[in-house]
Amino acid sequence: MNLRPLFFLLLPLLLLGSGSLAAAPDADEAGLIRINATIQTYSPAQPWERNNPSRRRGLGAVLHDLRILTTAEMVADTTYLELESADGTRNTPAKVVAVDYEANLALVSPLDPAQCAWIKDIKPLQTNGPVNIDEQIDIWQLEDNGNALRTVGTVRSVDLLSSFVEGHFFLSYEVKASMQGSSSSYTLPATRNGKLAGILTSYDSKDQICDVLAPEIIALFLQDVADGNYTGFPSLGVATVLTEDPYFRSFLGLNDEQGGLYVSRILPGSGADESGLQEKDVILAIDGNPLDRRGYYLDQRYGRLFWTNLITGKKKVGDSITLDIVRDGATKSLTAALQRRVEPLIPSHIHDQPPAYLIKGGMVFQDLSQQYLQAFGKDWQTRAPLNLLDALRNPEDYEEGRNRLVFLSRVVATPATIGYDQIASLIVTEVNGHPIKDMNSLAEAFQHPVDGLHTIKIDDIPYVLYLDATLSDTVDQQLLQSGLPALQRLPE
Amino acid sequence: MKPHLLILSGFLLLPATAQELLPPPTGTSPLAVATSEAADIYRSVVRIEVATQVSDYQTPWNSGRFGGGTGSGFLIGPNRFLTNAHVVSNARRILINERGSSVKHPAKVVHVAHDCDLAILEVEDPAPFTGLKYLEFGDVPPLESQVRVIGYPVGGDRISVTRGVVSRIDFRPYSHSQVDSHLVVQIDAAINPGNSGGPVLQEGKVVGVAFQGLRQADNTGYMIPTPVIRRFLKDVEDGEYDHYVDLGAAEFPLFNPAMRKALQLPDNGLGVMVASVTPTGPCDGVLQAGDVLLSIDGKPIDNAGNIDVEGEKVVLHEIVERKFQGDTVNLEFQRGGEQKQATITLTSFPAARIFALSYGERPRYVFFCGLTFQPLDLNLYATHQFSNPRVRKTYQNYVKDSIFKEREDVVILTRVESDSLTSHLGEFAGTVVEEINGQKISTLDQVHELLYADDQPEFITIKCEGSPRPIVIPAAEAKDANKRIMQSNGIYLPFYLDKPSSDSR
């Protein structure tokens, strides 16, 4: 804290040194607002309770109609969200209007529009069109005193990046800018000519490179929200492999002029599936844009971009694309209607949704998500239970007859689970003779004990476990009395 | 060193005080008798010096690491020295030193049992050892009784003796093979490197062979007790070691009342559930998962799977432990409320040895166009640290899921060397090879046959489990590429396929 006065002394000196004494930009003019979030995730090991709360301060870009754009990361798993004026004198509770965890975008608005006249004083930002490489954008921060802080950066390159949820890539600018550490450094709006041109999702202070989500993605997100019913970004539903390997190319019968992406898997029920695309096809072009052997197409504005931008950066759910393909040496053209991403057996992320669980006699059942496995720490890919990792990596082997992968995550020692203490992380196949396809079917199956016993079949030794139905009900009641809020939380 | 010195002085003081109470000795003093007896025993304990060559499973074409170490051993019969298997594993040269002599006598392994960490050696010229005492075996020493550990541990060149108390008798893992568990006796005398293979004595008889310590605890040494030693000696009587036999059934304790009720068992604390039966194992076709084992050779089995042997609670497998290839065991079990009985003929189960470390073998491999193929076993698994869950799962479930029935070898593509032919194949390293040219792969020999066949399709294709596309190698370029890559990587032998001997694990 002793350093603080020094800091203030230095700042005017620097300004004098640079020879100009400009007034700080006005935060209200810049369309900036603070967002304070209290985040509380659920405990993976004890899914009935929340972890300790943490707080996060960030910024939002005020749009018209009292809507504020921010990142999904800023609002995910929040138990309390509030908007605060730049100078810190006013605040009002807020709610999430729409959120897209994959694209890392969210729209927030005040809970009670009547109570926030102060927000109306903030000048709403217009949205800007795309920015070209080498053009400059302004990235905004707020200082503690309420002054807006503008950093000018140059768009160096454009790429598809994943910023919040792993594995979902969206058009982003990589901007060279020297930012300063600040208390509200999450989610910084970026503008060009005073119009919103992106949202900063991450900053690497070592390389001084910011990742800024591109205006095209923001525009698609806002269009989707406009009807009041948010759908999400479209997906083709294929897994592809590059065709760089020249020997693989000649095996596929591809000539040197052609590029192409090899289709290795088609998700059942996806747009690709319904278009008639098959595994082992090679996609040569999408909507007339030839794909090179590493999956890039030539974007008129940005140059080489990964093919998925032809879908997530240009289309919405319900739009169609044309696919030029090679199958068995012959070229062919297919039309695929784009859909929302097919929900996988094992979801990668669950946000703002408490994890489903069910407790029976001390046995804790959950449905598997990647998030659960990641809770095993930095080395989760080797430390998490092997059978669950295998299911994550090879879901196609587990999909039959299942909507979700239900597993016995742990056994709490109770009179009903004597002898089962060492059992954990086993995939549940059947309960009381009913195949288990999700948590709801598990809850239903437990309604039907046979001869006073529950029979639980699992995928590994000892393959079957029994619970006394009456005793486990008694135990469950005791668990409730000892502080468990509920015996189950099922997905709607 | 201090505690050892204290024990030594105490030992010397005791007879000295006793002497004062006794009349002056006329002939040989009792002390002298004890010392000469001890000296006889000491002379039969030898120092074993071993030069080793440890196979390299990372680069299987290389010679491996040269090194060496020392251990202890003792004479148990005419030109028969008993020691630990781990003392003489991977040995290129074995030399035996008699106490107080600097002459090194070349020796060789006669029998080795890696599953119980015991070996028998003989010297080329037994003459210098004639007249030495053959140490005799005693029984399992009782808890709290005192024992002496004799050997040649680190910290000096001469023979070392330590004393300890038997602190535990238990069924524990033997770390040498990484997979076997047998009876062990824990003593509170430290067992240090070099002690291995030395005798543990009580009242002049060998009650165990010192063999392992515990890294995270002080004063815990482990010895192989005489039931295990006797079994080994009996097994090799016919000139060949047959390995331990196995029941081939895993059990699950029946503590849970609901579990007992479901299995129609009274609440009497008896019976253990069969959780799985090893396919093709001795119990396959007799027992099935969900059966309840009630007794083994007439001894009632409790709900934790223990039986009473000579007043001690031991796991039911202890009965099988003491039996041999072809012996039988009687089982009483219950299935669906009905009592049944069966006589099982015990056999060893070679497929399960992929979980055991193998010693003294050249690693098998096939090298082709920059790709190295190796069969999955513990040596490979421990070397490569596979991260692919499919590889790890295939390994873990190799026996349980009957994978061994279809695949004698699980062939792994372990390495991809750099070359223009392989520059896009790096991601395939560490996967299970499923098919080559459309043929399912079940042995390493088959990989060799298919890849080195004279007659090849235009494109050699290799399908790996979980990989989204096949590996493609143009047959026309394969021969030259293979030569080129072998040369640039110093690989002089394109494959090594000799099966390991049954003695290597």
Q: Are B314 and B171 in contact (CB under 8 A)?
A: yes
The kind and range of the H/E element at A275 are helix A271-275
C-alpha span between B4 and B1 (Å, rounded): 5
Inter-chain CB proximity A419 and B472 less than 8 Å? no
Q: Per-residue pLDDT averaged across B248-253, rounded?
A: 93
DSSP state of A395: G
CA distance, residue B41 to nearest chain A CA (Å) = 47
* Residues with Cβ within 8 Å of residue A391, at least 6 apart in sequence: A345, A346, A368, A397, A398, A405, A427
Nearest one of A247, A336, A250, A328 to A285, comparing CA atoms: A336
Distance (Å, rounded) from C-alpha A478 to C-alpha B219? 45
Is cis: bond before A110, omega within 30 of 0?
no
Q: CA gyration radius for chain A?
A: 26
pLDDT one-digit tens code per residue, B309-326: 878 788 898 899 889 999
pLDDT at A37: 95
pLDDT at A22: 53
Amino acid in the structure at residue A61: A
> Residue A492's pLDDT band (boundaries 50, 70, 90)?
confident
Q: Which tens digits make up the pLDDT trace of B207-222? A: 999 998 877 777 789 9
Structure confidence at residue B18 (pLDDT): 32
Reading the block at residue B443, the tokens are 């042995």
Query: What band does B378 get if pLDDT is binned at 50, 70 and 90?
Result: very high
Q: Which two tokens stand for residue A20?
A: 């100009």
Q: Which amino acid is at A213?
A: L
Bridge partners (DSSP) listed for residue A152: A138
Residue keyed to tokens 């051993």: B73
Segment A259-264 mean pLDDT: 95
CA A342 to chain centre: 15
**pLDDT for the residue B171:** 85
**Closest Cα of chain A to B337: distance in Å?**
15
Q: How far apart are CA A224 and CA A481, in angstroms?
A: 46
User: CA separation (Å) from B455 to A4, B475, B497?
Assistant: 79, 9, 21
Query: Given an 8 Å threshold on Cβ–Cβ distance, is A241 in contact with B474?
Result: no
Compute the distance between CA of residue A296 and CA of residue A260 in angstroms, rounded to an integer: 9
In terms of CA atoms, which chain B residue is nearest residue A248?
B472
Q: Let me know how long chain A is.
A: 492
**Is 60 exceeded by the pLDDT of residue A454?**
yes
The arithmetic mean of pLDDT across residues B372-377, rounded, is 96
* Residues on chain A touching B389 (C-beta within 8 angstroms): 386, 389-390, 392-394
Instruction: Provide mean pLDDT across the span B283-302.
Output: 95
The segment with the largest mean pLDDT, out of A141-145, A247-251, B11-15, is A247-251
**B473 touches A at CB < 8 Å:** yes
Question: Using an 8 Å Cβ cutoff, are B283 and B249 in contact?
Answer: yes
pLDDT at A24: 65
> What is the predicted pLDDT for the residue at B56?
94
Token pair of A349 as six digits: 């992320």
User: Which range scores top for mean pLDDT: A179-183, B308-312, B372-376, B399-403?
Assistant: B372-376
Best to test chain B binding among A389, A390, A396, A458 (most B CBs inside 10 Å): A390
- A34 within 8 A of A84, measured Cβ to Cβ: yes
Question: From CA B270, how far away is CA B292, in angstroms rounded?
Answer: 9
Q: For chain B, how many helices (H) and strands (E)?
A: 11, 28
pLDDT of residue B101: 85
Q: Give the pLDDT confidence score for residue B371 in this predicted structure.
A: 97
Q: Please tell me the pTM assigned to this model.
A: 0.87
Q: What percent of chain A has pLDDT over 90?
A: 75
Residue A166: pLDDT band with limits 50, 70, 90: confident
User: How many Cβ contacts (< 8 angstroms) between chains A and B?
Assistant: 94
CB contact under 8 Å between A453 and B392, yes or no, is no
Min Cα distance B414 → chain A (Å) is 18
Residues of B with a catalytic annotation lie at: 86, 117, 196
Looking at residue B313, its pLDDT comes to: 85
Closest by Cα among A180, A221, A231 to A72 = A221
- A-chain CB neighbours of B431 within 8 Å are none
* DSSP classification of residue B352: G
- Closest-CA residue of chain A to B390: A390
Better pLDDT: B322 or B417: B417
Average confidence (pLDDT) over B271-299: 94
Distances (CA, A) of A261 to A37, A305, B88: 42, 14, 56
Which residues of B are less than 8 Å from A262 in CB distance? 468-469
**Closest residue, chain A, to B421 (C-alpha):** A247
User: How many Cβ atoms sit within 10 Å of the Cβ of residue A357?
Assistant: 20
How does pLDDT run across A124-140, given as a tens digit for each residue?
999 888 999 999 999 99
Written as six digits, the tokens of A468 are 């006394």
Q: Which residues contact B150 (CB under 8 A, 6 or more apart)?
A: B41, B42, B45, B72, B74, B159, B160, B161, B198, B199, B200, B201
> B466 — contact with chain A (CB < 8 Å)?
yes
Q: Model ipTM?
A: 0.86
- What is the rounded average pLDDT for all residues in chain B? 89
CA-nearest residue to A419 within chain B is B255
Task: Summarize the confidence of residues B318-347 as an average pLDDT.
Answer: 93
Domains identified in chain B and CATH numbers: 146-238 (2.40.10.10), 249-347 (2.30.42.10), 352-504 (3.20.190.20)
Q: Are B394 and B375 in contact (CB under 8 A)?
A: no
Q: Coil, strand or helix: which one is A218?
A: helix
Instruction: Return mean pLDDT, chain A.
Output: 90
Q: Which of A9-13, A49-53, A465-469, B100-104 has the lowest mean pLDDT?
A: A9-13
Domains and CATH numbers, chain A: 22-231 (2.40.10.120), 234-340 (2.30.42.10), 357-489 (3.20.190.20)
* DSSP-derived secondary structure letter, A450: B
Handedness of CA A251, A253, A257, A263 (dihedral sign): negative
Task: Say whether A393 and B258 touch across the interface (CB within 8 A).
Answer: no
Written as six digits, the tokens of A262 are 């090899």
Average pLDDT over residues A86-106: 94
Could you give the CA distance from residue A47 to residue A357 in angstroms, rounded to a whole number? 7
Six token digits for residue A390: 């295998």
List phi, psi (to 5°) of B142.
Answer: -70, 160
Sequence letter at residue B402:
S
pLDDT in tens, A204-218: 888 999 999 999 999
Pull the structure tokens for residue B201: 């004595």
Please give, rounded to a whole number of angstroms, the shortest distance from the CA of A12 to a CA of chain B. Answer: 55
Contact B418, B453 (CB under 8 A): no
Q: Is A228 on the interface with B (CB under 8 A)?
A: no
Identify the CA nearest to B111 among candidates B123, B97, B122: B122
Whole-number Å distance between alpha carbons of A25 and A20: 14
Residues B8 and B175: their CA atoms lie apart, in Å, by: 32
A187 neighbors A59 (Cβ within 8 angstroms): yes
Region A177-181: what's the mean pLDDT?
A: 83
* For residues B10-26, average pLDDT: 33
Question: ∠ CA A370-A374-A377 to the nearest 5 degrees?
Answer: 170
pLDDT, residue B26, reads 45
φ, ψ for residue B108, nearest 5 deg? -140, 160
Kindly indicate the confidence band of residue A244, based on its pLDDT and cuts at 50, 70 and 90. Answer: very high
Q: At what angle do helices B30-44 and B2-21 cross, to 10 degrees?
A: 140
Find residue A445's DSSP bridge partners.
none
pLDDT of residue B320: 92
- Going by C-alpha positions, the residue among B462, B430, B455, B435 that lies closest to residue A248 is B462
Tell how strand B118-123 and strand B104-113 pair up.
antiparallel
Q: How far apart are CA B353 and CA B399, in angstroms?
A: 10
Dump pLDDT digits (tens) for B435-488: 999 999 999 999 999 999 999 999 999 999 989 999 999 999 999 999 999 999
Integer angstrom CA distances of residue B235 from A249, B89, B231, B403: 59, 19, 6, 30
Distances, alpha carbon B440 to alpha carbons B430, B464, B465, in Å: 18, 11, 11
Looking at per-residue pLDDT, the higher value among B67 and B24 belongs to: B67
Rounded distance between C-alpha atoms, residue A144 and residue A12, angstroms: 16
Using CB atoms, pick whichever of A381, A463, A466 lies closest to residue B275: A463
Confidence of residue B34 (pLDDT cuts 50, 70, 90): low
Q: Suggest the residue from A241, A247, A379, A432 to mutate for an interface test with chain B (most B CBs closer than 10 A).
A: A247
From B466, which residue of chain A is nearest by alpha-carbon distance? A394
CB distance B259–A239 less than 8 Å? no
pLDDT at residue A132, as a whole number: 95
What's the full length of chain B, in residues?
Answer: 505
| pLDDT for the residue numbered A11 | 35
A277-313: pLDDT as tens digits = 999 999 999 999 999 999 999 999 999 999 999 999 9
> What average pLDDT does range B180-194 have in this prediction?
89
Q: Which two tokens stand for residue B484?
A: 């080129």
Return the pLDDT at B27: 45
In the predicted structure, residue B8 carries a pLDDT above the cut 70 = no
Contact A325, A281 (CB under 8 A): yes
pLDDT band at A47 (very low <50, low <70, confident <90, very high): very high
Q: What is the pLDDT of residue B51?
A: 96
pLDDT at site B174:
92
